[in-house]
Amino acid sequence: MVNMLAKRGQLTPEQERFRRITNDWYEAAYPDPNTVDPRVYDPDVNPGAVAWFRAGATQLIERVDGYLDILAAHGVACVRLESIELPGRLIYQDRFQVVVVAPPAR
């Protein structure tokens, strides 16, 4: 969502600086599931695929709050979720994260 705001030119210079620095840090710190399997986020193969950090990936989780602050400043409602159980069908995993497809809403 923050990247979408950036593409629309809606971030302040400070927010854009945070986004660029932090995105670069994440890209260097953990694998991009798309580079391992390009189908992970393919909407035809895995509609609604979403990445979740593993609980032990605290160094990665700590930086999420900055993104949440930016979203809040732009009136984008969001919450940080934690789940003990896998929140959907597992389609990718590494030591830092899982990517799941949530079950259809009932």
Q: Helix (H, G, I), strand (E, B), or coil: what is residue 41?
A: coil
**Domains in the chain, number:** 1
Closest CA to 58 of 19, 97, 87: 97
Q: Is residue 106 part of a domain?
A: no
In this prediction, residue 81 carries a pLDDT of 84
Q: Is the pTM of this model over 0.75?
A: yes
Q: Tokens 């620095």 appear where?
A: 21
Residue 61 domain-assigned (yes or no): yes
Q: Quick check: is 88 in a domain?
A: yes
Tens-digit pLDDT profile for residues 5-38:
999 999 999 999 999 999 999 999 889 999 999 9
Q: Which residues pair with 90 in a beta bridge?
A: 100
Please report the beta strands in the chain, taking only residues with DSSP state E, as ranges in sequence order: 50-53, 89-93, 97-101
- The stretch 59-85 carries a mean pLDDT of 91
CA-CA distance, 31 to 40, in Å (whole number)? Answer: 13
Q: What is the pLDDT of residues 36-52, one digit of tens each?
A: 999 999 999 999 999 99
Q: What is the mean pLDDT of residues 51-62?
A: 90
By three-state DSSP, how is residue 21 classified? helix
Q: Does the structure show a pLDDT above 90 at 75?
A: yes
- Residue 90's domain comprises 2-101
